[in-house]
Structure 1
Amino acid sequence: MDKLNKSSMYQMIVIILMQTMLLLFMATWKEIDLFGISYDKLLNIVIFVVVGLSLLSLIVVKEIYKVIEYETEFKIQQIKLEENKRLIQTLRSQKHDFLNHLQTIYGMVQLNKQDKVKEYIKSLNNDLSEIKFTSDGLSNSILDSILIPKKLEAIKQGVSFTYKVERGVEDVDFPLDKLFRIVSNLVDNAIDAMEGFNGKKEIRLIGKNNGDNYHLSVYNIGPIIEEELQHQIFEPGFSTKGDGRGFGLHIIKSLIEEREGKLELKSEAGFGTEFTCILKKK
């Protein structure tokens, strides 16, 4: 694709140079008076050629734009493919671990070692036991299965992560895997934003029922996004963290808008940063 872009740019440069040369040629024609061709006749020929070159320029610009779109879409598909590969790898690893645990528990049951089974199951929850839930720490929603591991990950990063999801999220007109992807990406971005931040590290996820819509917001009290960057942050490939990044928010926004929803951003000094997904219900 880079070769196509370079080739199209070379074509544009050649066309512009040809137009410039023709115009310069016309400007000096009366003084030179070559070949005995009348000025008016030559002017008509040059106008015809310049118009033709201008149309050719428009065609080349259109092709360049198409190539850029294809390149952007290709990168987005690459990111999605990498996400799917990581998900498959995670599921395979979890399946392997799950089977091992089941076999261990089954063996203990066969040997009538019920006490050992209890101890073993308790040991599997050591990581989760480190999480201190408040009275509303569990929302009993479909998002608990993804938010509990995220809370554990945040704690390991030294970040306070609380969430409260009202009933109604199960009625959102969204495939569950895509809803999980949106929540996962927004929370991961919030955790990443805390890296290197010296102030209070806090993330809150709130799900609110709002009539025909469901509002899902992810807020962090840490660094803000500068106002001049806020309109660029959803553009594909835009990132302040290096090449090969900057597609996550674009993908999230695209997924939400596919279902006629909205993704809004508020980032102000003294407030923090909040991404709000406005999702339509079924």
Structure 2
Amino acid sequence: MDPHRLQQVLVNLLLNARDATTVGGAIRLSGAVEGEWVRLAVKDSGIGLSEEVRAHLFDPFYTTKATGRGLGLAICQRIVEDADGRIEVISTPGLGSEFRVWLRNEGRGARSEVRGEG
């Protein structure tokens, strides 16, 4: 995946987490390799999301903010899916949200072909 596109996704998720979290709250960025996948996660202790909001979260021009265009998460989803990955959200109103980005582990399973004569 293009590092600049990955940066765009992470910055957007971190800014959204910041906007959802009150003073004294927490935001955590984590990552792990899980088999053929790399999982990156942004978790906040913010306000959380209702089922109705989650249903439209990745729709272009959908926003719950007073300002903004509602394009950030739609763009994130497009970038991740264009890289053959996926993005998901786990959220509980009042307890915060976790956005997970799953990308193919391009370093796993790399093989070199060896040919010999015999």
Q: TM-score range by the shorter chain?
A: 0.7 to 0.9
TM-score scaled by structure 1? 0.36
- Measure, in 1, the Cα distance between the counterparts of 2:41 and 2:2: 18
- Measure, in 2, the Cα distance between the counterparts of 1:243 and 1:221: 22
Task: Name the count of aligned residue pairs.
Answer: 106
Alignment gaps of 5+ in structure 1? 1-173
Match of 2:8 in 1: 181
- Measure, in 2, the Cα distance between the counterparts of 1:218 and 1:257: 18
With CA pairs under 8 Å and 6+ residues apart, which has the higher RCO, 1 or 2? 2
Q: Which has the higher helix share?
A: 1
Per-residue deviation, 1:270: 6.1
2:31 is the alignment partner of 1:207: yes
Match of 2:109 in 1: none
SS at match of 2:58: coil
TM-score scaled by structure 2? 0.83
4+ residue segments displaced more than 4 Å: none
1:191 is aligned, of 6, 15, 18, to: 18
Identical residues among aligned pairs (%): 34
1:35-70 deviation digits (Å, cap 9, x = unpaired): xxxxxxxxxxxxxxxxxxxxxxxxxxxxxxxxxxxx
- Measure, in 2, the Cα distance between the counterparts of 1:244 and 1:189: 11
Map 1:99-178 → 2, pairs under 5 A: 174-178=1-5
Per-residue deviation, 1:242: 3.7
**Larger Rg computed on CA atoms:** 1
- Measure, in 2, the Cα distance between the counterparts of 1:244 and 1:275: 19
Match of 1:258 in 2: 82
1:63-91 deviation digits (Å, cap 9, x = unpaired): xxxxxxxxxxxxxxxxxxxxxxxxxxxxx
- Measure, in 2, the Cα distance between the counterparts of 1:281 and 1:178: 16
Alignment gaps of 5+ in structure 2? 107-118
Q: Which has the higher strand share?
A: 2
Alignment-mate amino acid for residue 275 of structure 1: F
